[in-house]
Chain A
Amino acid sequence: GAVVSQHPSWVICKSGTSVKIECRSLDFQATTMFWYRQFPKQSLMLMATSNEGSKATYEQGVEKDKFLINHASLTLSTLTVTSAHPEDSSFYICSARRPRDGELFFGEGSRLTVL
Chain B
Amino acid sequence: SQQGEEDPQALSIQEGENATMNCSYKTSINNLQWYRQNSGRGLVHLILIRSNEREKHSGRLRVTLDTSKKSSSLLITASRAADTASYFCATDAWMDSSYKLIFGSGTRLLVRP
Binding site for B on A (CB under 8 A): 32, 34, 36, 41-46, 49, 57, 59-60, 91, 93, 95, 97, 102, 104, 106-109, 111
B residues whose Cβ falls under 8 Å from a Cβ of A: 1-2, 30, 33, 40-43, 45, 88, 92, 96, 98-106, 108
Would you call A43 and B41 a contact (CB within 8 A)? no
CA distance A100 to B100 in the complex (A): 16
Secondary structure at chain B's binding surface: helix, strand, loop or mixed? strand
Contact in complex: A43, B100 (CB < 8 Å): no
Task: Determine whether the beta carbon of B99 is less than 8 Å from that of A102.
Answer: yes
Alpha-carbon gap, A46 to B105, bound state (A): 12
If the complex has contacts A60-B1, A104-B92, are A46 and B42 also in contact, measured as CB distance less than 8 A?
Answer: no
- Residues of chain B with a CB closer than 8 A to A49's CB: 98, 100
Given A106-B42, A106-B43, A108-B42, the answer on whether A45 and B101 have CB atoms closer than 8 Å is no
When distances are taken between beta carbons in the complex, the residues of chain B under 8 Å from A102 are 30, 92, 99
Most buried by A among B33, B43, B92, B105: B43
Of the candidates A34, A36, A44, A106, the one having the most CB atoms from chain B within 10 angstroms of its own CB is A44
Point out the residues of chain A lying under 8 angstroms from B96, CB to CB: 57
On whether A109 and B41 interact (CB within 8 A), knowing A57-B96, A60-B1, A104-B92, the answer reads yes
Contact of A95 among B40, B101, B105 (CB under 8 A): B101
- Whether B98 and A93, one on each chain, are in contact in the complex, defined by CB atoms closer than 8 angstroms, is no
Q: How far is the CA of A111 from the CA of B92 in the complex (A)?
A: 25
Across the interface, which residues of B come within 8 angstroms of A104, CB to CB?
A: 33, 92, 101
Could you tell me the distance between the alpha carbons of A102 and B96 in the complex, rounded to whole angstroms?
A: 17
Please give the distance in Å from B91's CB to the nearest CB on chain A: 11
Chain A's nearest CB lies how many Å from the CB of B51?
13
CA distance A41 to B1 in the complex (A): 17
- Tell me the complex Cα distance, A5–B25, Å: 30
A46–B101 CB distance below 8 A: yes
Chain B contacts for A44, CB-based, 8 A: 43, 88, 103
Contacts of A32 in B (CB 8 A): 98
By a CB distance below 8 angstroms, the chain B residues around A59 are 1
